[in-house]
Amino acid sequence: MNKISLSLLALFVALSVYCFATDTSQLRPPKGSRVAIMVFEDLQCPTCGHMAPILEEASHAYHIPLVHYDFPLKQHSWSWEAAVMARYFDTKSQKIGDEFRADVFAHQVEITPENLHAFAEKFATEHKVTLPFVLDPRGELDKKVRADQELGQHIKIEHTPTIIILSNTSRGSIEVTDPKQLYATIDDLVELAKAEQPATKTASTQKSRGTP
């Protein structure tokens, strides 16, 4: 293969990677915030479990929102059902929903499709919440999980966790592919937000699920 052919092949590969990269161009932080952390996560994903407290800590450290989106992967046997359960606990309170997610992450290795419901029942009892026999009779919670997943597919999410630092600065939103760069990326965008709009007050810390 000659040098020209090799160059064309390299260009093709580069363009292929670019085409399948996460599209952050249309993503913006929640209203009232200039910078936020966005994560597409799967409750059965070990790396998601590892990153969850790190993202929580970063959200509090910078006083910026942490926005969660469900993205259950096809190869995981119970993550979709767990996401629907988390949505149910969200209806009781956002705090209980987030505590359920944290509990699932902490006990991932123990959970199976067979014992997931018992795990959720135990959690519900401990939090004085009733877990109905039919959790989502109208499929509304399932639709919320699906809406998050469809958004992820639209912007070409291919793995979990996918972490994006949202900003409405001139740099836009940036995907963090190396967790070691999380704080540096937030630093850069927070400083840029201050420089571009110094009168803007830092938004208070808030949490939200991807689909209300």
**DSSP string over 7-31:** HHHHHHHHHHHHHTS---TT--PPT
For residue 14, name the pLDDT band (cuts at 50, 70, 90): very low
**Per-residue confidence (pLDDT) for residue 207, from 0 to 100:** 62
Q: What Cα–Cα distance (Å) separates residue 194 from each residue in 27, 64, 186, 187?
A: 19, 13, 12, 11
Q: What Cα–Cα distance (Å) separates residue 91 from each residue in 128, 133, 167, 189?
A: 14, 16, 29, 33
User: Which of 9-13, 23-27, 180-184 shows the highest mean pLDDT?
Assistant: 180-184
Query: Which carries the bigger pLDDT value, residue 25 or residue 84?
Result: 84
Q: Provide the mean pLDDT of the chain.
A: 87
For the chain, the structural domain boundaries read 23-209
Q: What is the mean pLDDT of residues 174-193?
A: 96
Q: What is the mean pLDDT of residues 24-31?
A: 86
**Per-residue confidence (pLDDT) for residue 94, from 0 to 100:** 92
For residue 111, name the pLDDT band (cuts at 50, 70, 90): very high
**Per-residue confidence (pLDDT) for residue 16, from 0 to 100:** 35
**Per-residue confidence (pLDDT) for residue 212, from 0 to 100:** 54
What pLDDT, in 10s, does the model give residues 144-159?
A: 999 999 999 999 998 9
Residue 164 and residue 60: Cα distance in Å, rounded? 16
Q: Is the pLDDT of residue 132 over 90?
A: yes
**Per-residue confidence (pLDDT) for residue 23, from 0 to 100:** 83
Residue with tokens 């479990």: 49
Omega of the bond leading into 46 within 30 degrees of 0 (cis): no
pLDDT above 70: percentage of residues in the chain: 83
Question: pTM of whole model > 0.95?
Answer: no
For residue 4, name the pLDDT band (cuts at 50, 70, 90): very low
For residue 172, name the pLDDT band (cuts at 50, 70, 90): very high
23-209 maps to CATH 3.40.30.10: yes
Q: What is the mean pLDDT of residues 70-92?
A: 97
For residue 130, name the pLDDT band (cuts at 50, 70, 90): very high
pLDDT above 90: percentage of residues in the chain: 78
Q: What is the mean pLDDT of residues 20-42?
A: 88
> What DSSP element (H or E) covers 56?
helix 46-62
